[in-house]
Amino acid sequence: MASLLEVQGLGVRFSGLKALDDVSFRLEAGQVRAVIGPNGAGKTTLFNAISGYVRPTTGSVLLNGVEIARNSPHHIAEKGLRRTFQNGGLFPALTVLENVMTGLHPQTGGSFIDILLGRRKAIEAEIEARERARELLKLMSMDHMAETPAGDLSGGQQRIVEIVRTVACEPPVLLLDEPAVGLSPVARQQMMDIIKRLSGEKGVGILLIEHAVELVMAAADRILVMAAGVRIAEGTPEEIRSDKAVLEAYLGHG
């Protein structure tokens, strides 16, 4: 049986420089796999190559057994792989509820023009999307802020809303790029709870880049450690804690 996401021998070159070299791993449904490593390790390049923002030089990316490498980000998202970015991307003037509804647009079936013209099917689709968005916010304990402009939220709240919007269409695979950056310890705990809820209750396969080691060790089932564009270790949190190569290259111990 094919894995949900399978990366095979992925490589990326920029003007002759190897930014990523022969990286392979698998992600199963309901699994949280973290990618860690020092700055310049190739983590973001890996995410970009998987999600279509960078064209791989070598290798393949299979989603449910279907090749998606070298497809556009739009087509990859349509096939069920969604991602977040380090610097967010909410619409600050829209409410929290409206931001989440934008993530449901592919499922509504009605265009903006249809809604303006008052076409019944489009109006019904918008009402359904609004109800679904409220359900998602409630699931993430953000329903009390549904009518708040996104620009008025704290950084941590904005990242939670971004994740809610990203998973609105129920993608089987979710790539989270440093979701805990800039968060307080309390907000980090909340973010970890959300990650566990998405993987455990919803069966989402999650690939996670994160510098907060305590969050990675608590939330991840498997950890991929990178340095200089290559994989230097892979294993469970317990195995990674005691791996000498990881301690030297990433955690700063001898």
Residue-wise pLDDT for 24-42, tens only, equals 999 999 999 999 998 899 9
Dihedral of CA atoms 51, 53, 59, 61 in degrees, nearest 10, equals: 10
With a cut of 60, say whether residue 173 has pLDDT above it: yes
pLDDT at 100 (0 to 100): 93
- Which tokens hold the place of 194? 């959300």
What is the rounded average pLDDT of the residues 43-47?
96
Regarding beta strands 173-177 and 58-63, do their DSSP bridges make them parallel or antiparallel, or are they unpaired?
Answer: unpaired
* Displacement of CA 219 from its chain's centroid (Å): 14
Superfamily (CATH H level) for 1-80+171-254: P-loop containing nucleotide triphosphate hydrolases (3.40.50.300)
pLDDT at 179 (0 to 100): 87
pLDDT at 8 (0 to 100): 97
Regarding beta strands 230-235 and 222-227, do their DSSP bridges make them parallel or antiparallel, or are they unpaired?
Answer: antiparallel
Query: Tokens 């800039």 label which residue?
Result: 182
- Which tokens hold the place of 65? 């057994």
DSSP-assigned beta bridge partners for residue 235: 223
> What mean pLDDT is reported for the chain?
87
What is the rounded average pLDDT of the residues 85-111?
79
What three-state secondary structure class fits 110?
coil
DSSP-assigned beta bridge partners for residue 21: none
With a cut of 50, say whether residue 124 has pLDDT above it: yes
With a cut of 80, say whether residue 86 has pLDDT above it: no
- Which tokens hold the place of 78? 């349509």
With a cut of 60, say whether residue 254 has pLDDT above it: no
pLDDT in tens, 181-194: 878 888 888 888 88
CA distance 151 to 60: 39
Helix (H) or strand (E) holding 238: helix 237-241
pTM: 0.85
pLDDT at 118 (0 to 100): 58
pLDDT at 191 (0 to 100): 84
With a cut of 90, say whether residue 87 has pLDDT above it: no
What three-state secondary structure class fits 119?
coil
pLDDT in tens, 197-224: 889 988 999 999 988 888 899 999 999 9
Task: List b or e across 78-104, with b for residues whose CB sees 16 or more CB atoms inside 10 angstroms.
Answer: eebbbbbbeeeebeeeebbbbbbbebb
Regarding beta strands 222-227 and 173-177, do their DSSP bridges make them parallel or antiparallel, or are they unpaired?
Answer: unpaired
What CA–CA distances, in Å, run from 215 to 38, 99, 193? Answer: 16, 27, 10
113/36: higher pLDDT: 36
For residue 176, give the nearest of 190, 187, 189, 192 by alpha carbon.
192
User: Please, is 63 exposed, middle or buried when counting C-beta atoms within 10 Å of its C-beta (0-12, 13-18, 19+)?
Assistant: buried
Intervals of CATH 3.40.50.300 along the chain: 1-80+171-254
